[in-house]
Amino acid sequence: MFLFYRDFEIILNQINWPFMVSNSSKVKLDDYKQNFQHLASMLIQVQLPENDCFDLNKSSTSELMDHFSHISLPIAMLIVPFRKRFFYHFTGKKQTNKLDKPEWFLSRVLNWIKEYRNFVVDWMGPVYKENNLRPIDSQHEFIIGLMQSVVVKLESDLSFFQLEDSIFSHIIDETLAFEQELHKVYGYPSDYPSVTEVLTQAPIFFKWINMERKYAINKLNAILSNEENQWDILVKDHQYIVTLGADSFLTLLNTMSDRYNLLRQPRHKLQFLKLQIDLLEEFKQKIVQLFTENKESSEYLQEMLCTMHYVRYTLLNWGTNMHFLSLLNYKCELQNEYKSPTELLETTETVFDDTIKSYDLEINILLNYLCDDIMNKIKRHGKQYKKDNWHIMSELTDTNRYIITDSGWLMYETFTESLNTLNRNLPISLFNKLWPVITDKFATYIYNDILLANIFNNGGAQHLYLDIKYKIIPIISKYTVNPNIYIQRLLEACKILCFDPNFKPVVLKRNEVSEILLRRIENGNSLEFS
């Protein structure tokens, strides 16, 4: 083996490895290619001892290097000059060795990969194929060999006890960007050794995730404290409405997902998932707090609802993508609940189920408050209507030319405008949940506070019935094909009050019918209803 090793070293010297790719003569290099591949084919069969790689790892006692030692002997020999250059420029007191400039050594390694990967695949690929290996594995092992130096450097820099938070964070960012480029640009497999293994060592990972939490909380507070435009509408769709606050917050979470998705171990990803869920809860509580502090004014209540609804809508979509489904599967495995790939794709369960339920609860609370706020406005404008002289109103001879009762105009307009505004400003799912409740409360208010609280002559009964017929039913007809069922009890009461002899109540009970009849000044108790 020693002879092959020495001969291979000689060829590397003859081709001036690592040569400048742009300056090298392909014709001249091709003269050495056959002999290079012959020697490499001999050397590739040599099994190196664990953690050897020709002493490439002696500068580091880290157990991490075990994962980076499985490269062939010829690749290890190709790496040697790069390793020497790396530690010459990026260790000691060299001007190129700066803690706050990790991009310098990371970009240098990426440039080496870019410049020499074609040579490695072209010259070493056939050797790998001849030895029943994939040609592309030569490139992957070349990358692994270069990453050995990166791992040693990163571990040293990140473990420096006086490292400032800003520099620590910058090193993390650049390391993740480096890892991402390896996968996206050079097709480096996700199950191969990764520089992110440095980041997931206990002390470093603990500091990293705490810094992520601190940064995210500060960002979250900044988003919701931006009083000028936090509730500005960015996108208005039938299904959802996106506010600036919701978009900024979800971008924060999405960026976090992109970052930690590069990690290899699910247990580390789950810790970031827990951080995301904590942030979702914090975001929800902050919105509720803002609402509570400004309860007197419901000016931004609809925007708050849109914000929480869009976050919920997004979580439903996120829960079904493979990133979060894989985390769900890992959680199930931890709880001894194995799911097959098919079951995983078909499951309705997501990692965000509890969070979605929590958001639903707060959304319903805010919807109830919004409903009560609208009803209070309606009732304020219904005071004159409630006290009108229902017992002395003139009878109507032509109902086709009916004009709403003067005292009720503002009340009914408030109801109409409120529904129209909600329809414009809320996603369809929230609006469809809200308008039936408001309609029911409005109908109940008319039934209890107007119909049962006054005495009616025939003219008054006609006016009340036609007010409802021409002011409530047309409005809710825009949102349903069966408007009558939403105010059926009130409609039945009005027909009884009008002494409709052909009407048979369905919803109202006999005692309720009797009570309604007592509201007629003519005393309609003698009228029989089946």
- For residue 294, the model assigns a pLDDT of 80
Q: Is residue 54 predicted with pLDDT exceeding 90?
A: no
Confidence of residue 335 (pLDDT cuts 50, 70, 90): confident
Confidence of residue 1 (pLDDT cuts 50, 70, 90): low
Q: Say how far apart CA 405 and CA 409 lie, in whole Å.
A: 6
The per-residue DSSP string of 49-62 comes to PTTTTTTTTTT---
Confidence of residue 521 (pLDDT cuts 50, 70, 90): confident
- For residue 525, the model assigns a pLDDT of 44
Q: What is the DSSP letter of 449?
A: I
Q: Say how far apart CA 169 and CA 208 lie, in whole Å.
A: 8
Q: Is residue 370 predicted with pLDDT exceeding 50?
A: yes
Element (H, E) at 236: strand 233-236
- For residue 445, the model assigns a pLDDT of 98
473 CB-contact burial (10 Å; exposed 0-12 / middle 13-18 / buried 19+): middle
Confidence of residue 7 (pLDDT cuts 50, 70, 90): very high
113 CB-contact burial (10 Å; exposed 0-12 / middle 13-18 / buried 19+): buried
Q: Say how far apart CA 280 and CA 274 lie, in whole Å.
A: 10
Q: Is residue 244 predicted with pLDDT exceeding 50?
A: yes
Rounded mean pLDDT, 489-503: 92
Residue range 443-473, pLDDT digits in tens: 999 999 999 999 999 999 999 999 999 999 9
Residue 423 · residue 431 · CB < 8 Å: yes
Q: Is residue 528 predicted with pLDDT exceeding 50?
A: no
Mean pLDDT of the chain: 90
* Phi, then psi, of 336 in degrees rounded to 5: 60, 35
Element (H, E) at 338: none
Rounded mean pLDDT, 432-437: 98
Instruction: Give just the sign of the alpha carbon dihedral 234, 239, 245, 250.
Output: negative
Rounded mean pLDDT, 345-352: 77
Please name the residues in contact with 350: beta carbons below 8 A apart, sequence gap of 6 or more: 315, 316, 318, 319, 320, 324, 325, 328, 356
Residues in the chain: 530
Q: Is residue 40 predicted with pLDDT exceeding 60?
A: yes
Q: What is the dihedral of CA 7, 10, 16, 21, to 10 degrees?
A: 0
Q: Is residue 530 predicted with pLDDT exceeding 50?
A: no
Rounded mean pLDDT, 259-282: 96
Q: Is residue 50 predicted with pLDDT exceeding 60?
A: no
Confidence of residue 523 (pLDDT cuts 50, 70, 90): low
Q: Hey, which of 44-58, 298-312, 324-338 has the most confident mean pLDDT?
A: 298-312
- For residue 57, the model assigns a pLDDT of 44
Residue range 91-137, pLDDT digits in tens: 999 999 999 999 999 999 999 999 999 999 999 999 999 999 999 99
511 CB-contact burial (10 Å; exposed 0-12 / middle 13-18 / buried 19+): exposed
Residue 96 · residue 166 · CB < 8 Å: no
Among 21-30, 106-115, 161-170, 475-484, where is mean pLDDT lowest?
21-30
Structure tokens at 247: 């978009």
The proportion of the chain whose per-residue pLDDT surpasses 90, expressed as a percent, equals 78
518 or 295, greater pLDDT? 518
Confidence of residue 208 (pLDDT cuts 50, 70, 90): very high
Residue 269's alpha-carbon distances to 103, 227, 319, 331, in angstroms, are: 25, 34, 15, 11
Residue 316 · residue 324 · CB < 8 Å: no
Confidence of residue 338 (pLDDT cuts 50, 70, 90): low
- For residue 174, the model assigns a pLDDT of 97
Q: Say how far apart CA 527 and CA 506 lie, in whole Å.
A: 17
Q: Say how far apart CA 157 and CA 137 lie, in whole Å.
A: 30
pTM of the model: 0.88
Confidence of residue 339 (pLDDT cuts 50, 70, 90): low
Q: What is the dihedral of CA 202, 207, 212, 215, to 10 degrees?
A: 170
Q: Say how far apart CA 486 and CA 443 lie, in whole Å.
A: 9
Q: Is residue 363 predicted with pLDDT exceeding 50?
A: yes
CA-nearest of 170, 332, 315 to 257 is 315
